[in-house]
Amino acid sequence: MNVGVQRGAIAAVQVLGLAVWFSMSAVVPGLRNDWGLTAGGAVWLTASVQFGFVTGAVASTALNLADRVPPQRLLAASAAAAAVCTVVLALVADGPAVAVPLRFTTGMFLAGVYPTGMKLMASWSGSAGRGRTMGVLIAALTLGSTLPHLIAGLGSLPWRGVLFAAAAAGLAGSVVALALVRPGPHTASSAPARNPRYALAMFTERGPRLANLGYFGHMWELYALWTWIPSFLLAAPAAGGLPGSVEITVFLAVGLGGAAGCLLGGWGADRFGRSPAALTALLLSGLCCLLSPVLFHAPPPLLFAFCALWGAAVIADSGVFSTSLSEVADHRYIGTALTGQTAIGFALTVVSIQLTPLLAEAVGWEYAFLLLAPGPLAGALAMRAFGKGAPSARSPRGAS
């Protein structure tokens, strides 16, 4: 089987399947008009997806689904189910009371898309090029997550139309997964015995523990920034001078800028090592958090450049953590380890997503992102320690 075709197919499934993730965030302005949506309601439309993802990831981890079910089938079924939930929401929801449970269910199914995609991508790469391969996967996740902003910004679709378009992308991703995607040679040859405890047991091992701690600091910042950067930009004095609508600006800065950051981070992880690549991205994104009150008042070109830099830095290390864990965890339970990592990481995002608008209400959006700075700084400390004592990227335990 052609390696390039497989990697491309897996990446395509991530772009298409994850289009439903931020589909509701992209249509909040329309929901304010149709539903009279409050700021609290907008928070729950995103937080419920994160809660659902955590629930689905915990269930998948407990059952070792990513290691015991043919991953291409799990990927296809999960993408299709998340898309169907989005279609149902577009058809029947008339307020948060209906939308929030459906978003929770969507998140549950997305737990079978992202971690499974990571395992599949790792299965098509040996250790030497795994950083770049994971960078491609996370770039696909970034583009998929911001795709609804592009749909909403370019077209004149009502909010239900944006959801239908995102759901159509998810269904297309399911078809691609089922028709084209297959596991690669760098994977266990047979399903292991069920061992849900490995998701916790990995924390007793130094390498997995530090890779996870770095990831958790990264996640404290990432999804809160992705969720609330439109509000930050709308509140900025230079909002009217940004390139296009806020939705287009978010897609350009966070989507395209983030995808470029992922590719650069993956290249750096293979060229200079996992720890230096992660440290660079974490320190840069942490610095952006600290500088956000100053750049909030910048003129439009500088504000856009700052957001593009932040959009690249905040996600550039995501693939590095996945790569690091896939190399130091027990190779029989890589899917379980990655799913457990994402379950805890996404649980943290619920907290930072909830707290950020509360701080903004108290002190204004100018200072709200200061809340996120401790995450990347703590993650940098963990990855600095990881680089000093974990197995090297060139000779990981369990690599084949």
* Chain centre distance of CA 101: 21
State whether residue 23 is helix, strand or coil: coil
Q: Is the pLDDT of residue 194 over 70?
A: no
Q: According to the model, what pLDDT value does residue 192 have?
A: 57
Residue 399 confidence (pLDDT) above 50: no
Q: pLDDT value at position 396?
A: 39
For residue 342 the two structure tokens come to: 């994402």
Distance between CA atoms of 258 and 42, rounded to whole angstroms?
A: 24
Distance CA 320, CA 275 (A): 8
pLDDT at 392: 45
Q: How far is 134 from 11, CA to CA, in rounded Å?
A: 10
> Dihedral of CA 29/227/292/359: which sign?
positive
Residue scoring higher pLDDT (326 or 103): 103
Gap between the Cα atoms of 29 and 356, Å rounded: 19
Q: How confident is the model over 66-84, as a mean pLDDT?
A: 91
Contact 354, 43 (CB under 8 A): yes
- For the ranges 10-14, 63-67, 142-146, 328-332, the one whose mean pLDDT is highest: 10-14
What's the pLDDT tens digit per position in 112-148? Answer: 998 888 888 888 887 777 788 888 999 999 999 889 9
* pLDDT of amino acid 229: 93
What is the band of 328 on the pLDDT scale with cuts at 50, 70, 90?
confident
265: confidence class by pLDDT, cuts 50, 70, 90: very high
Percent of the chain with pLDDT over 90: 56
| Helix ranges restricted to H, the chain | 3-17, 28-35, 39-63, 65-68, 71-92, 96-110, 114-123, 130-154, 159-180, 198-201, 206-235, 246-250, 257-272, 274-295, 300-316, 318-328, 334-363, 365-368, 374-389
Residue 257 reports pLDDT greater than 90: yes
Diameter over CA atoms, the chain = 58
Compute the distance between CA of residue 88 and CA of residue 85 in angstroms, rounded to an integer. 5
pLDDT band at 167 (very low <50, low <70, confident <90, very high): very high
Q: How confident is the model at residue 374 (pLDDT cuts 50, 70, 90)?
A: very high
* Residues in Cβ contact with 272 at an 8 Å cutoff, skipping those fewer than 6 apart: none
Return the pLDDT at 358: 92
CB-hemisphere CA count at 13 Å for 205? 18
The string of pLDDT tens digits covering residues 277-292 is 999 999 999 999 999 9
Residue 212: predicted pLDDT: 93
Cα gap 152→194, rounded to integer Å: 43
Residue 201 is predicted with a pLDDT of 86
Tell me the C-alpha distance between 6 and 72, whole Å. Answer: 11
Residue 22 pLDDT class (50, 70, 90 cuts):
confident
Q: What is the mean pLDDT of the chain?
A: 88
